């Protein structure tokens, strides 16, 4: 059997591993297996390539990243166990591997010094992927052959015999089965982006469209001149790291533990903002052990079943249950933090048993400032109306420092940090709700994907807390200025001009505009040539929800949800071609997370199931597909 895998990032390598595993331990077929991986960046793929800046760090703690399976994973093949990224990085094997393969002394030192809850350079995860693959190949059975083609796939079609055909710039290759293991993709520019790009070209300005920050060329951005960055999420953090640390600046620690930024003089003056006007919340210091994951006490299957109406869970009831879980953790830890003379255990018992939670809060005497306020948490500055840019810096700094303090307490100790961290631990519950189709299509499209998904990202997908500390220092140093909510950007008088006109009259102009966001998965505007070829041939379509008499696209590639095979324009399952990963975002929940050990990770489950399907072997029951 000949299998083609498009994409040699973590997913492509996981799938290769599970093909080996399934073939060795479950297959009684005598046919030899040939695997070809296609990726222009080679093993590791684009995001984790090993030639990017050392200043770009991962967004998951090193001990919560793995490429190995474990006993928690729902799978039909045997466990292929091994070290997490943290365990590997601190080992002699890693030191020898990095030195032998020419990695910099800085990366070798970073590997040796990475902490169990620290955040490794992205280059190091790329090295871990390469090491994992090389170790895998050493164990390759004689009946299997594996090759890697550093080529861009330009189309995927079928031949007259209904066999999948992959075409690259170098040639055409026919397979029995093909699996697309895709990560982040490029999109065509939307109308606003195209207008700004054309304006930049006409006026000799610099416009960096949405892309992965590691791919952007920032060398032409001049020192000392203003540079506008639109977006305050993870890409923003990456860009300011490259434009400060990457240009020779460094941080020193003050006596109170805060940081002071010492400029190199090579930094631009960064003007940044977004519609929300706030950076993402920092990721709390992890206090959870291997496989430790909080489970809901309110958002349980029992409570969900109790509240179904005609088989659907009203979204307001879903939010009520979810927020009760967050409030319980928040108040228990607030008692430990600020009310030591009260019993957190007694509070939990009463909060769980008494439907009148307001009466419970009153009994325990929480101060007004300690009341859980969801609306304020998701939009702390919604009541900030007219505010000058200078005054807004003080507001932002105070908020950042407050959230840093809470996040440094840890994911089981900081009241809000721990409550926010539940949103990560509850991903299996969210996936189950989505998989069981408990929301109406309207609530699914408009409330979950339209609002809540973005809110959850804002609350838990932020940078490591050290990056938030650094951002506070950069604002205090004057290197970074954050605009008030409602940022707008336009081309005017030969410049890019930005302002937050609903809050103040301050305007800033620059010859540089950086769009600090990674393109979202969207089949309708994807610039990935493989996906384009499938759409043009009517072999793929966008997944749709039905609201009233209207079909509403949610951008994800449409697949048979049991097998992850493509559905064509007419809804027919396409044989022998599978897809998983980021292009299914919106159909699946959180498709861009690295595999995590000990928690029955969906990446690991999906890799095992796809491998079994490709080889025609039995699959595990109740697999949560990624």
Facing residues of 181 across strands?
580
Q: Which domain holds residue 47?
A: 2-186+559-615
Cα(504)–Cα(506) distance, integer angstroms: 6
pLDDT at 626 over 80: no
List the 33-38 sheet strands across, edge first.
144-149, 33-38, 2-6, 177-182, 573-581, 565-567
Instruction: Note the pLDDT of residue 296.
Output: 97
Residue 274, in any domain of the structure: yes
pLDDT of residue 78: 92
Please identify which residue in the block is written with the tokens 């009463």. 350
Specify the DSSP class assigned to residue 447. Answer: I
Residue 290 within any structural domain of the chain: no
Nearest by Cα to 287 from 255, 256, 328, 333: 333
Q: Nearest 5°: phi and psi at 85?
A: -60, -40
- Per cent of the chain over pLDDT 70 is 100
* Mean pLDDT, residues 579-601 taken together: 92
Do 113 and 225 lie in one domain? The reply is no
Note the pTM of the prediction, 2 decimals. Answer: 0.94
Q: How many whole angstroms separate alpha carbon 626 and alpha carbon 624?
A: 7
Instruction: Give the length of the chain.
Output: 626
Per-residue model confidence (pLDDT) at position 170: 92
Residues 180-199: tens digit of each pLDDT? 999 888 999 999 999 999 99
Residues 160 and 12 grouped into a single domain = yes
Q: What is the mean pLDDT of residues 252-276?
A: 95
φ/ψ (deg, to 5) at 157: -135, -175
What residues pair up with 507 in beta bridges, in sequence order? 499
Same domain, 54 and 132: yes
Examine the pLDDT at 384 and tell me if it is beyond 80.
Answer: no
Mark whether 203 and 166 lie in a shared domain: no
- Per the structure, the count of domains in the chain is 3
Taking phi over 0 as left and psi of -120 to 50 as alpha, with beta for the rest, 197 belongs to alpha
pLDDT digits (tens, 9 = 90+) for 456-483: 999 999 999 999 999 999 999 999 999 9
In a domain, 524, yes or no: no
Rounded average pLDDT over 242-251: 96
Tell me if 499 is assigned to some domain: yes
pLDDT at position 29:
66
Residues 318 and 207 in one domain: no
At residue 347, the 3 state secondary structure works out as: helix
Taking only the tens place, the pLDDT of each residue in 112-128 is 999 999 999 999 999 99
Q: Which long-range contacts (CB under 8 A, 24 or more apart) does 84-89 make?
A: 84/597, 85/120, 85/124, 85/125, 85/128, 86/61, 86/62, 86/114, 86/115, 86/116, 86/118, 86/120, 87/63, 88/128, 88/131, 89/62, 89/114, 89/120, 89/124, 89/128
DSSP H or E stretch at residue 398 = helix 389-409
| Of residues 210, 259, 197, the one with CA closest to residue 239 | 210
- Whether 454 and 346 map to the same domain: the answer is yes
Q: Are residues 337 and 417 in the same domain?
A: yes
8 Å CB contact between 107 and 121: yes
CB 475 within 8 A of CB 270: no
| Under 8 Å between Cβ of 27 and 617 | yes
Give one DSSP letter per residue of 280-313, joined into a string.
PPPBPPP---TT-----SSS-HHHHHHT-BTTB-
Say if residues 338 and 428 touch (Cβ distance below 8 Å). no
Asked, for residue 620, whether it belongs to a domain, the answer is: no
| Any domain includes 609 | yes
What pLDDT score does 598 carry?
A: 95
Q: Collect contacts of 293-297 with beta carbons under 8 A, ≥24 apart.
A: 293/425, 293/428, 293/599, 294/329, 294/421, 294/422, 294/425, 294/426, 295/425, 295/429, 296/321, 296/322, 296/325, 296/426, 296/429, 297/324, 297/325, 297/328, 297/352
Q: Do residues 37 and 178 both lie within one domain? A: yes
pLDDT of amino acid 292: 93
> Among 27-31, 78-82, 369-373, 388-392, which stretch is predicted with the lowest mean pLDDT?
27-31
42, 56: one domain: yes
The single residue listed with the structure tokens 């937050």 is 500
- Across the range 352-373, mean pLDDT stands at 94
271-295 mean pLDDT: 94
Q: Predicted confidence band at 30 (pLDDT cuts at 50, 70, 90)? A: confident
Query: Is the distance from CB of 213 to CB of 483 less than 8 angstroms?
Result: no
Q: Are residues 501 and 587 in the same domain?
A: no
Does 286 map to a domain?
Answer: no
Kindly report the average pLDDT of the chain as a whole number. 95
Number of H helices, E strands in the chain: 20, 21
- Contact (Cβ atoms closer than 8 angstroms) between residue 312 and residue 439: yes
Q: How far apart are CA 381 and CA 402, in angstroms?
A: 14
pLDDT band per the 50, 70, 90 thresholds, residue 106: very high
């Amino acid at each position: 059997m000949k299998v083609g895998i498009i994409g040699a990032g973590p997913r492509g390598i996981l799938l290769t591993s599970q093909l080996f595993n399934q073939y060795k331990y479950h297959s009684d077929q005598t046919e030899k297996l040939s695997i070809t991986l296609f990726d222009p960046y080679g093993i590791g793929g684009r995001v984790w390539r090993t030639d990017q800046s050392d200043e770009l760090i991962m967004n998951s703690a090193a001990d919560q990243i793995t490429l190995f399976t474990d006993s928690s994973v729902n799978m039909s093949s045997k466990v292929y166990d091994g070290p997490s990224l943290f365990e590997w990085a601190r080992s002699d094997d890693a030191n020898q591997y990095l030195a032998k393969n020419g990695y910099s002394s800085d990366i070798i030192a970073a590997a040796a010094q990475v902490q169990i809850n620290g955040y490794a350079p992205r280059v190091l995860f790329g090295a871990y992927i390469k090491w994992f693959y090389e170790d895998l190949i050493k164990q390759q059975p004689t009946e299997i052959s594996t090759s890697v083609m550093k080529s861009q796939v330009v189309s995927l079609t079928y031949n007259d015999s209904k066999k999948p055909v992959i075409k690259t710039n170098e040639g055409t290759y026919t397979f029995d089965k093909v699996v697309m293991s895709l990560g982040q993709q490029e999109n065509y520019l939307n109308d606003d982006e195209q207008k700004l790009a054309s304006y930049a070209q006409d006026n000799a300005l610099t416009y960096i469209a949405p892309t992965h920050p590691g791919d952007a060329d920032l060398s032409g951005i001049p020192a000392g001149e203003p540079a506008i960055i639109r977006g305050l999420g993870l890409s923003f953090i990456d860009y300011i790291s490259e434009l400060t640390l990457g240009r020779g600046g460094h941080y020193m620690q003050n006596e109170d533990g805060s940081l002071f930024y010492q400029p190199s003089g090579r930094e631009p003056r960064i003007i940044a903002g977004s519609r929300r006007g706030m950076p993402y919340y920092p990721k709390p210091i992890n206090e959870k052990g291997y496989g430790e994951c909080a489970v809901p006490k309110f958002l349980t299957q029992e409570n969900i079943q109790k509240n179904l109406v005609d088989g659907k869970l009203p979204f307001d009831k879903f939010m009520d249950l979810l927020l009760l879980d967050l409030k319980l953790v928040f108040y228990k830890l607030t008692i430990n933090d600020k009310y030591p003379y009260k019993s957190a255990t007694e509070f939990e018992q009463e909060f769980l048993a008494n439907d009148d939670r307001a009466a419970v809060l009153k009994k325990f005497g929480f101060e007004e400032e300690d009341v859980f306020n969801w609306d304020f948490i998701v939009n702390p500055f919604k009541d900030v109306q007219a505010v000058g840019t200078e005054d807004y810096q003080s507001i932002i700094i105070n908020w950042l420092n407050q959230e840093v303090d809470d996040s440094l307490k840890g994911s089981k100790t900081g009241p809000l940090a721990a409550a926010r961290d539940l949103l990560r631990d509850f991903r299996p519950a969210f996936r189950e709700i989505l998989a069981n189709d408990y929301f109406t299509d309207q609530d699914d499209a408009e409330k979950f994907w339209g609002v809540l998904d973005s809110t959850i990202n804002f609350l838990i997908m932020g940078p490591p807390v050290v990056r938030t500390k650094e951002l506070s220092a950069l604002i205090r140093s004057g290197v970074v200025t954050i605009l008030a909510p409602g940022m707008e950007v336009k081309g005017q008088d030969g410049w890019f001009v930005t302002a937050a006109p609903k809050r103040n009259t301050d305007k800033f102009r620059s010859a540089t505009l950086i769009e600090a966001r990674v393109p979202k998965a969207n089949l309708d505007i994807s610039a990935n040539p493989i996906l384009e070829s499938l759409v043009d041939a009517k072999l793929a379509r966008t997944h749709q929800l039905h609201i009233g008499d209207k079909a509403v696209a949610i951008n994800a590639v449409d697949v048979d949800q049991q097998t992850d095979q493509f559905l064509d324009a007419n809804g027919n399952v396409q044989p022998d071609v599978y897809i998983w990963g980021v292009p299914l975002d919106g159909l699946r929940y959180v498709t861009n997370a690295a595999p995590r050990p000990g928690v029955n990770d969906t990446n690991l489950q999906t890799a095992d199931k796809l491998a079994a399907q490709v080889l025609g072997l039995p699959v595990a029951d109740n697999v949560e597909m990624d």
